[in-house]
Amino acid sequence: MPTATHSAASASEPVLEASQPVIEWWMQHWMDAATPMARMQLAWMETVSDAMHHEAEFLMACASSSERMAKCFMEQESLKNPAMLGECYNDMVKEVANAHLSRMGKVAELSSEFRQKLWEEI
């Protein structure tokens, strides 16, 4: 019985060796078809990653300005002086507005960069 299994295995080896170039050719062309889709997905994922990075930067700016505003509320001098409190609030609003404008500018660039990456892949 072991000789029959051994002879069947040795008989299939020449077939495998003979078909190896065809299998390699087929795998190459199959991967060529899949590669552009993978690159397009990578471009999309990079764009999403950039958008998330810009959102994180905006949230960091919001957090730092909120922290400064909280410090203004904790200081007795600023609580007694409405002008000082108003100045603190205006500074916070300006910082958040500038961060938002920066974020919107970066997001607007993402759209054109994403379209350019897709066009390069197509």
- Count of Cβ atoms closer than 10 Å to residue 62 Cβ: 15
Is residue 113 within 8 A of residue 47, CB to CB? The reply is yes
Share of the chain above pLDDT 90, in %: 30
- Count of Cβ atoms closer than 10 Å to residue 30 Cβ: 10
Provide the pLDDT for residue 90: 94
The predicted model scores a pTM of 0.63
Provide the pLDDT for residue 23: 82
Provide the pLDDT for residue 7: 52
Rounded Cα–Cα distance for residues 56 and 62 (Å): 10
**Pick from 109, 104, 121: nearest CA to 47:** 109
pLDDT in tens, 41-85: 888 888 889 889 999 999 999 999 999 999 988 988 888 888 998
Rounded Cα–Cα distance for residues 104 and 58 (Å): 10
Provide the pLDDT for residue 122: 66
Q: Which helix (H) or strand (E) holds 18?
A: helix 2-74
Is residue 71 within 8 A of residue 77, CB to CB? The reply is no
pLDDT in tens, 13-47: 777 787 888 888 887 777 776 777 778 888 888 88
Tell me the CA distances in angstroms from 82 to 13, 64, 65, 90, one per residue in order.
89, 22, 18, 12
